[in-house]
Homo-oligomer: A and B are copies of this chain.
Amino acid sequence: MKLATPYLLFIGDAHDQLAAKTAAGIAYWRPEQCVGQLRLPGCNADLGLPDLSVRQAADKGARTLVIGVANRGGVISPAWIPTLLEALEAGMDLASGLHRRLCDVADLARAAERLGRRLIDVRHPTREFEVANGKPRSGERLLTVGTDCSLGKMYTSLAIEREMRRRGRKADFRATGQTGIFIAGEGVSIDAVVADFISGAVEWLAPANDPDHWDLIEGQGSLFHPSYAGVSLGLLHGAQPTALVMCHEPNRPHMRGLPHYKVPGLRECIDANLEAARLTSPEVRLVGISLNTSALDPSAAESVLRQTEDTFGVPAVDPVRGGVGPIVDRL
């Protein structure tokens, strides 16, 4: 399942910028793969890309319309259907990261069938995986792990890929979530895999490679998140990482979605991840800490970064403020 590029980013009637987060991530990391955006009346988001009709996008070569908007319930709005049908007619595939499947919308399924287009629901794995075998494999793999969900694991992985490639290194981002899959053009939505195959799916996603090649694997969740830790552990074991980057947001009051759970301490979380990772990767090491300091002013951010470096003896960066150069120096 490789998505055809370039994309037309559909953000429909997104009621604010946050609802278009997926599209914004794609536009930020892969501007060269986006011909433009398509907005419907009532849309309050803007990706800073040219506004195109389906016809204009097709003329510019768009091969996939990506639904890059989230809404309550993850449903495909009836208001979107005429545009989606038009895109199919114009020669594009449709791709979505929503909970509801494109192929469950009868009109879309029929049109795609008739026209020979693909309906790609990246949240729903379409292939079967093997159970993980845990066998050592060649190549280097870096996994971003975290104290919680949604604090920059994907961003950090992509920033490391960009910096390594800039330096002429062999590096590939490996996507484990919906936005990441659109950005990479392929990947596995790891939290949607059947539980038995979590680690096996990651072994498939990041297979043996050249000794000097780095897979930069997008982490998910946290070993300390009571809802998702199983996913995080299976991902950690399957990744067989040689390097970990711990992602954290200082001052976050509690675990995402769970006001009754505190965010774990950095030390505790680093130790737990290294210990668990050693099962399949005995030589694993921590190579850096990525802090999301968006809630801090520049001097407070600088101070917490320096303090974190002093405490843990590895580079601490905010990839948005200062890039990830010091971490890449360690690889």
Contacts of A229 in B (CB 8 A): 199, 233-234, 237, 276, 279
Residues of A within 8 A of B (CB-CB), count: 37
Beyond known contacts A134-B227, A134-B261, A135-B260: 10 more, CB 8 A cutoff: A131-B257, A134-B260, A192-B196, A195-B195, A195-B230, A195-B234, A196-B231, A224-B279, A230-B234, A230-B235
| B-contacting residues, A108-164, CB 8 Å | 131-135
Contacts of A198 in B (CB 8 A): 195, 230-231
Shortest distance between the CB of A94 and any CB in chain B (Å): 23
Complex: how many Å from CA A316 to CA B192? 39
Complex: how many Å from CA A229 to CA B275? 13
B233:A133 contact, CB within 8 angstroms: no
| B-contacting residues, A151-195, CB 8 Å | 190-195
Q: In the complex, what residue of chain B is closest to A193 when comparing beta carbons? A: B195
Residues of A within 8 A of B (CB): 131-135, 190-196, 198-200, 223-224, 226-235, 237, 257-258, 260-261, 272, 275-276, 279-280
Complex: how many Å from CA A257 to CA B134? 10
B196:A258 contact, CB within 8 angstroms: no
Complex: how many Å from CA A232 to CA B232? 12
Shortest distance between the CB of A320 and any CB in chain B (Å): 27
15 A-B pairs with C-beta separation under 8 A: A131-B228, A132-B227, A190-B195, A191-B194, A192-B196, A193-B195, A194-B194, A195-B195, A199-B229, A226-B237, A226-B279, A229-B276, A230-B234, A233-B233, A272-B275
Q: In the complex, what residue of chain B is closest to A231 when comparing beta carbons? A: B195
